Structure formats: structure tokens, C-alpha cells
Amino acid sequence: MTNMGNNILYVMGIVAGLWLARNVHEIFLGLPDEAAQGAIYRILFFHLPSWFTCFTAFLLAGVSSILYLTKKNLVYDTFAVSAVEVGTVFTVVGLTTGSIWARIIWGIWWTWDPRLTWALITCIIYAGYLMLRRAIDDPTARAKNSAVLCIFAFASVVITYKAIDWWRTQHPGAVLSFRTGGGRMDPAMESILYQNFFALLLLTSVLVVLRMRQEAMSREIEGLRRHAHAL
Amino acid sequence: MRFARQTWTVAGKDLRSELRTKESLNASISFAVVILVLFSFAVDPTADQMREMSGGLLWLVFSFAGALILNRSFARELGNDCLDALVASPVSPAALFLGKAFANYVLLLLVELVTLPIFGVLYNTQWARQPAMLAAVMLPATWGMTVIGTIFSALTVNLRMRELMLPVIIYPMMIPVLMAAMRLSTILINGEAIPADDWIWFKLIIGFDIIFTSLSLALVEVVLVG
């Protein structure tokens, strides 16, 4: 990677960090407590953006997997695994923040409600994807098999997203205006929520690029090792 | 026409070789009985308990026992490089997949048919109060399980840790269809009518079957040939 690329990455990382810090300041000091829930509602500003981020990452990983299968270029595989890894981390963040909120509002950490259950299944499936990759040594076989699994796995993301519409769940319904047509959330709050989402997306891009470099490097090392063995 | 004949040939070959040796079938049915017995220690199988969990228990048994059959589906072709021969033959990968899936489907249904009466006797449950509806749930739900199991059996066939990886991947993928089948079977075994709210589960099974069958048919060539 060139120096220029490095610099852009640093700048993106710093901007994401500053933006998140500014959002945290705004969320904790700028916004008032919510009427019904009190202070805990603030977790929403991390919970929702985390899920959006992981859905975006999984969607891009799915698209990239399709591209790998059609174009057979390992770059797409590298992108898919990086996006899935970062996405899985955000799935865990989403599950954890949701759990903390549930402990305060519902009095329990977890309930087997369709939305929650499917979110957990999604997390397990993508963890399975990462495990599958460990089990295959040959880079092209690994890329091919994990691309197929990645496409299948995306079905669970769609079900998780739509679960609140399909079932009567204990999980709160949609609040954002693009799904409800507005009126469920104060515009000032909604704006901060989106800002946090974009800041997280920026952070995700930095993490994905870093992870892609690692992956490319590890493939190179693997190649060199094989070369050494051949000699 | 050619496609149907190829599919039928592959399915016939698999069924014949399985029914002659009965390797997986015997193992799968014995395993199903073992799980049924084990469960009786885990929970107290009183009438009230069974009313709540009959469907869940049944489908857990079906999926655990079924995995033994699904696991062998492509692995049985590894000896003597039969898989390479099959892939090199003029049979299209989709026909190969579909043939294997049909064979697995028949075997899974056989296991289920044998397990159901045993379940009824061991747990003192009248499972056949609505046989037609129960079949209407079991047939598409078992197909969903079969499709996922067969495609991932093909995907993991060349893996080092095949026996370990397959369950890790297929069970989470099967959850939607298992969840729906468990819910509906419990209602049906209790002899109740399916509430209006719960028809969504039925739609879920059908949707699952359509989506994953088409996805598998589209991707199987990549999986087998590369």
C-alpha cells in the first residue's frame, strides 16, 4: 500500500474517532432523557447503528461473494471475509447493547422472541462462516466454499431485519421514519442516530481495509511458505 | 426430460445402494431411538409436559438422526474417487444434486415414519390425531432440511474436519424450518386447529423451501465443479 493510501486511512480513522466522540457528547449531554424510559434509551444510538452497520457489512460481503463466484478474483473473497469479520463484531455489539437495555426495561437479559432469536442465529451462522474458512487450506477452495455459505447466510440477515414485521415480537417495532413514515421519533434524535451510523460506517471501512491488507499479506506468506516447501 | 432421467438415475442409484446395505438408515434410526430414550431422562414426560414439547422433541430427533444420513450423502462417493467420476460424467451438477436430495428425502422420511410410532409409544402420545395436516407440515419441512443438508454435504465433502464442520453449519441454517415445524407439529399433535396467527410458520416453510432449493440449484455447479 502506498503512503498516500496510508494517509487516507489515518485521516478516515481520525475523522471517525472524532465524529464518534462528538456524537457521544451530544447523546449524553445534548439530548434530554426520554419520557418513558429515562436515561437508558440512549443505548439505542449505539444499538441501532451497530445493527445497520453489520447488515451493511453482510450485504456487501454477500455481493462480494457473488462477484467472486462469477469473476474468480481473490480480491472479492478478501473483501467478503473482512466485511464478515467486522460485521460479526458489530452483531455482538448489537446483541450486547440490546441485552443491557432489556435488563433495565424488561428485567431480563434475554428472551426467546423471534427478533432476538434470529439475530442470534445470524451471529452463529457468520461465526460458522469464519470457522469454515479455518478448516480449508487451499485458498481457492476456501474462497469458493465460503462464498457459497456467505450467500446462504444472507437469508438470515433478511429474516432478522423483517422479523418485527412478520411476527408480533416483544422487541420494539420500527421507529425510524424511513420505515414508519415519521412521527415515532424526534427529528433531533433521529439525526444523531444517523450520524452515529455514518460514523460507525466510516470506522467499519477503516477496519475492513486494514483487515483486507492483513488477509492479502497472510495469503502472500502462505504462498511463500509453499514455495519454500517446494524448494 | 433428459434432466429428469438423470435425476432419477442418481436418486435410484443412491437409494439402491443404501437400501441394500442399510448402513446409514440403521444407524440413523438407532440414533433416533437413543435420543428419544435420553430425552426421557432430561425431562419428565408427563402428559402436560408432552403437550408443550412434543413437536420440539420430534424435530430435534429428526434433525439429529437425519444429519447422519445427510453427512454420508456425498462422503460415500469419496472412496475410489467416485465423486470425481460423477462430476466428470455427462450428468449435470443440478441433476446430481437433485437426485441425491431426493434419495436423502426418501431416507429421511423413512426415518421419520419409523420414529413417529416409537415416539408415540415411549411418550404415551397420540400423534396421529391429524395425520393429513401433520404430513402437510412434515413433507415440506423435511424437504427444507434435506436441501440444506445435501448442499452443505457437497460443500464440506473435501474438508479435513468434515464431520465437525457440517453440523456447525447446517443446524443454524436449518433453524427457520425447524422452528416452524416444531411449532406447527406441537399444535397438530395436541389435536388443535392451527390458529390464524400461526399460518405464517407454514408460509415460512414453503418460502424456505423455494428460496433454498433455487439457491442450491443455482450454486451446486460452483460447489462441485468450481
Per-residue model confidence as pLDDT tens digits over A41-94: 888 888 999 999 999 999 999 999 999 999 999 999 999 999 999 999 999 999
Is A22 buried (19+), middle (13-18) or exposed (0-12) by CB count in 10 A?
A: middle
Task: With CB atoms and an 8 Å threshold, state whether A135 touches B223.
Answer: no
Q: Cβ contact (<8 Å) for B222 and A137?
A: no
**In what helix (H) or strand (E) does residue A156 lie, and over which residues does it extend?**
helix A139-166
**Residue scoring higher pLDDT (B17 or A172):** B17
Please report residues of B whose CB lies closer than 8 A to that of A66. Answer: none
Residue A38, strand partner residues: A34
- The whole-angstrom distance between A136's CA and the closest CA on chain B is 6
Taking the CA of residue A162 and the nearest CA in chain B, the distance in Å comes to 12
Choice among A126-135, A161-170, B98-107 with the minimum mean pLDDT: A161-170
Q: Retrieve residue A152's grid coordinates.
A: 446462504
Quick check: B169 and A132 CB within 8 A?
yes
Mutate to test the interface with A, among B156, B169, B198, B209 (most CBs of A within 10 A): B169
A166/B172 Cβ within 8 A: no
DSSP state at residue B76: T
pLDDT tier at A1, thresholds 50, 70, 90:
low
Q: Which of A149, A156, A159 sits opposite B169 (nearest CB)?
A: A149
- Which amino acid belongs to residue A74? L
**pLDDT, average across residues B22-39:** 91
Burial of A33 (0-12, 13-18, 19+ CB in 10 A): exposed
Work out how many domains chain B is built from and give that number: 1
ipTM: 0.83
Higher pLDDT, B216 or B42: B216
Partners of residue A163 in chain B, C-beta under 8 Å: none
Distance CA A206, CA A193 (A): 20
**In B, which residues are within 8 Å of A112 by CB distance?**
none
- By CB neighbour count within 10 A (0-12 exposed, 13-18 middle, 19+ buried), where does A198 fall? middle
Classify domain A3-31+40-230 by CATH architecture: Up-down Bundle (1.20)
pLDDT greater than 60 at residue A155: yes
Output the average pLDDT for chain A.
88
**Nine cell digits for residue A212:** 483486507
How confident is the model over A89-113, as a mean pLDDT? Answer: 90
Please name the residues in contact with A200: beta carbons below 8 A apart, sequence gap of 6 or more: A16, A20, A49, A50, A52, A53, A90
- Give the residue extent of every domain in chain A: 3-31+40-230
Q: How far apart are CA A136 and CA B156, in angstroms?
A: 9
- For range A125-150, the mean pLDDT: 90
Residue B120, domain extent: 2-224
Q: CB count, 10 Å around CB of A181? A: 8
Nearest residue, CB atoms, A136 vs list B159, B172, B212: B159
B127 φ/ψ angles, rounded to the nearest 5 degrees: -85, -15
Q: What is the mean pLDDT of the segment spanning B62-85?
A: 90
* Residue B151: pLDDT over 90: yes
Candidate from A135, A140, A167 with C-beta closest to B165: A135
Q: How confident is the model at residue B100 (pLDDT cuts 50, 70, 90)?
A: very high
Contact B212 A141 (CB under 8 A): no
pLDDT of residue B104: 95
Average the pLDDT over A187-214 and give the result.
90
The pLDDT score that the predictor gives to residue B62 is 94
Q: Chain B residues with CB inside 8 Å of A166's CB?
A: 200
Average pLDDT, chain B: 90
Chain A residue at shortest CA distance from B167: A128
CB pairs under 8 A between A and B: 64
User: What value does the mean pLDDT take over residues B66-85?
Assistant: 89
Among A1-5, A140-144, B184-188, B196-200, whose mean pLDDT is lowest? A1-5
Residue in the structure block whose three cell numbers are 474417487? B81
Contact A144 B176 (CB under 8 A): no
* Contacting residues of B for A155, CB less than 8 Å apart: 211-212, 215
Chain A CA closest to residue B197: A167
Q: Which residues of chain A have a Cβ shorter than 8 Å from any chain B Cβ?
A: 69, 117, 121, 124-125, 128, 131-132, 135-137, 140-141, 144-145, 147-149, 151-153, 155-156, 159, 166-168
In the numeric block, which cell numbers belong to residue A189? 434524535
User: pLDDT digit string (tens) for B158-205?
Assistant: 887 888 888 888 999 998 899 899 999 999 988 888 888 888 888 889
Confidence of residue B48 (pLDDT cuts 50, 70, 90): confident
Alpha-carbon torsion angle B173, B179, B184, B186, nearest 10 = 130
**Can you give the pLDDT at residue A183?**
65
